[in-house]
Chain A
Amino acid sequence: MKRWLLILIIFLFSLALYQPLWGQDEEEYPQEPIIFTKPVKAVIFDHKKHVEDAGLSCEDCHEDVFEMAAGTAEQNEDFNMKSLYEGKYCGTCHDGESAFASNKKCTTCHIGVLGWKRLQKKEEKKEGKHH
């Protein structure tokens, strides 16, 4: 009986090792960029840039500014440039003080249909390799 318990403890411990506990503290974010296609095609949002370069944490945007689930904001009627200028969505930071203003540097985020299609092609290629 004691022996079984020991095996069980070892088993549990190895499981814990497999799923490192310290990983929970580190911020995990989607590696692939988020692409918005509404109301216009297309806008890119890169988590990596905002977390690592800008030093933001999850709570800075989630869930007050954006919900966690990608594509939720796009469903809103007011998800447009006007709202951004009023300080909603990306405009929370992109106001010209915390980050560059929403009415400047359009093509930093707007990758257009051309950029969107290019990303799709890249993805197709990746998927093609996996199969």
Chain B
Amino acid sequence: MDLKKFGKWLQGLKNEGVEHVSLEERRAFLKIGLQVTGVFAGGTILSVVSKVDKVFGAAPEYVDKYPYKPHYSMVLITDRCVDCQLCMDACVRTNHVPHYGWRTRIFERRIVVGPNETMRQFMPVLCNHCNIPPCVRVCPTKATFKDKKTGIVRMNIKKCIGCKTCMVACPYNMRYFNEERRAVDKCDFCWESRLSKGEKLTACAAACPAGVRNFGDLSDPNSKVYKLVHDPERVIWVLRPETGARPNVFYTIDGIG
């Protein structure tokens, strides 16, 4: 049966309604749906039927497999952030970010903690240096690429044609078009400005007065980021896990809120 015929046959079917579908039948149908979703989304990072620990970045097949050396990563203890924006200032100075652009941002949200009671929480966001970066996949000129050694998602601005497809593809909106360079600019974990010159920390991590931004090598069991991510008493999560991008920027709280 070809597709057209199948479509006609489908349209010709009488609508039976859902009133007479038994609860068990509905359940069975929903189960199929969930399982399909699970497989489609990889089934590892986010699927509704999977366990809670897999919703967070702590899925076994994701964490503890670090293909890069050093495998650069950042763990943000988000309830320590007070939005002083010293990290943003340091980033702008270090990487010459124009006033209309950004390599990192801080967002604010209100969490309801009781009746008529809310709590402020700040959330710093930067390029997540994903293991499966959607921006790299869509770049037509390979101007943006995953560094084979460090896993940093970098830019080759000579190759960038300014199509801005990567800006749309980025799940975190952490790319902007730099008018002066005529190329898309983004966080490179300060690779060009600091790390390649022997510095150990990004400008933002060095500037943070509250210990929010923890930067290091996730493949090194002695590093702070490794210890944070593998602390069994910590809830570790990533932003927008449903995209399947497998970010290397993790979030957690110290529970001091």
Contacts and interface: CB of A to CB of B under 8 A. Distances in A.
B82 A103 contact: no
Contacts of B114: none
A7 to B, nearest CB: 55
B84 interface: yes
B256 A103 contact: yes
B210 interface: yes
A40 B106 CA distance: 15
Nearest to B257: A105
A11 B80 CA distance: 60
Interface string B101-126: 00000101000000000011110000
B83 interface: yes
Contact of B85 (A104, A111, A113): A113
B84 A113 contact: yes
Interface centre among B79, B108, B120 (most CB of A within 10 A): B120
A40 B86 contact: yes
A111 B106 CA distance: 12
Interface residues of B, number: 18
Contacts of B42: none
Given A111-B120, A112-B122, A106 B82 contact: yes
B84 A107 contact: no
A111 B121 CA distance: 9
Interface in A86-111: 103-108, 110-111
B209 interface: yes
Contact of B256 (A40, A105, A113, A115): A105
Nearest to B82: A110
Contacts of B210: 106
A17 to B, nearest CB: 40
A114 interface: yes
Contacts of B79: 106-107
A107 B82 contact: yes
A64 B122 CA distance: 33
Contacts of B209: 40
A50 to B, nearest CB: 18
Contact of A112 (B80, B83, B119): B83
A41 B209 CA distance: 12
Interface string B243-257: 000000000000011
Contact of B121 (A103, A104, A107): A107
A107 B86 contact: no
Could you say which interface size class chain A belongs to? Answer: 10 to 19
Contacts of A111: 83, 120
Contacts of A107: 79, 82, 119-122, 257
B108 A40 contact: no
A114 B81 CA distance: 12
A38 B68 CA distance: 41
A110 B86 CA distance: 14
Nearest to A107: B120
Given A106-B210, A107-B120, A107-B122, A113 B257 contact: no
Contacts of A113: 83-85, 106
Contacts of B84: 40-41, 110, 112-113
Interface in B22-80: 79-80
Interface string B204-222: 0000011000000000000
Contacts of B80: 106
B104 to A, nearest CB: 13
Interface of B: 79-86, 106, 108, 119-122, 209-210, 256-257
